[in-house]
Amino acid sequence: MISTKMRFLLAVTGVVIGGCSPQASQQTYLPVPAAAHVSSPATPVVQAAIDDVGRYGESIYDMAKVNDWKQAATDLAWLKKAAELGSPFAMEKLAEYGLDENGTPGPSAEGERWLRTAVERGHRLAMVNLGTRLITGNGLTSDPKRGEQLLREAAQQGSQISMIKLGTYLLSGWGLNLDHQEGLRWLRSAGAMNADQLLELGLYLYQQSLTATTKAARGLAQEASILFQESRRQGNSIASLNLAYLLRRGEIADASCRR
């Protein structure tokens, strides 16, 4: 049964008609236009409700896709409707699914469109996501200059993950011009002041890769290896063990472990 809170949220956002839950056998969704229309900014209360519906759609989609892609496609309507109503959270999640789970090595036009729309709406996580993809070419055509601009903008707004990514790419020259000193400055701004903290950041990124999609996991493992390399360079022996582990699992290339 759908919760009382969710019934209220659905009433506010207008996602479904008749109080039907997404698991019900007969569902009546409002039509989703082929070219999504993004509503004008909502009030804070309504915006919070829209984001809650988006998160609800994400959770049921994640559960459904494990065993039933047909059901997952139906559940995806929740996320799409929340995105059309102006939820940057839902837009960013739709972009993630479109770019990382489309089953093809090339870019997904719909996923890219949602991601760029979320950036236009000022969603900081979407800025980091788009900037990262433009630098690495993961899911999108590479545009390192624009990607760096987005990461710097997000970092200047206080995004720690953006600082980590900027530091990682500058430290290694991956997608950006090699600048070891500036890379370290960004990592220090993110809280990595010494070899042990660099190791911790690397472990955090690797843990994120374990639950990410296949495409996203490769990039996260590579970023983790760069932090492990710098931690090793500063004298942390455990970082060397982590690099050896990634190499043995085939998650990084042998050349990426050489200094």
The predicted-structure confidence for 232-255, as pLDDT tens digits, reads as follows: 999 999 999 999 988 888 888 754
Give the per-residue pLDDT at 43: 53
**pLDDT tens, residue by residue, 208-238:** 888 887 778 888 899 999 999 999 999 999 9
User: What's the CA gap between 151 and 30, in Å, rounded?
Assistant: 37
pLDDT at 27 over 50: no
- DSSP string of 164-218? HHHHHHHHHTSSS---HHHHHHHHHHTT--SHHHHHHHHHHHHHHHHTS-HHHHH
Burial of residue 79, with CB atoms counted within 10 A of its CB: 0-12 exposed, 13-18 middle, 19 or more buried: buried
Query: Residue 185's closest CA among 213, 155, 210, 154?
Result: 155
How confident is the model at residue 60, as a pLDDT?
46
Which residue has tokens 């090595």?
105
What would the two tokens of residue 24 be? 């019900």
pLDDT for 152: 96
For residues 95 and 120, give the distance between their C-alpha atoms in angstroms, rounded to a whole number: 14
Rounded CA separation 232/237 (Å): 6
Residue bearing the bigger pLDDT, 68 or 122: 122
* CA-CA-CA-CA torsion sign (24, 26, 30, 33): positive
Bigger pLDDT: 88 vs 49: 88
Residue 167 CA to residue 144 CA, distance in Å, equals 14
Provide the strand spans (E) within the chain. none
Give the model's pLDDT for residue 18.
33
pLDDT higher than 90, residue 131: yes
Give the largest Cα separation in the chain, rounded: 63
- The overall average pLDDT reported for the chain is 74
With beta carbons less than 8 A apart as the criterion, state whether 201 and 188 touch: no
pLDDT digits (tens, 9 = 90+) for 159-205: 999 999 999 999 999 999 999 999 999 999 998 889 999 999 999 88
pTM of the model: 0.67
pLDDT at 109: 81
pLDDT value of position 111: 84
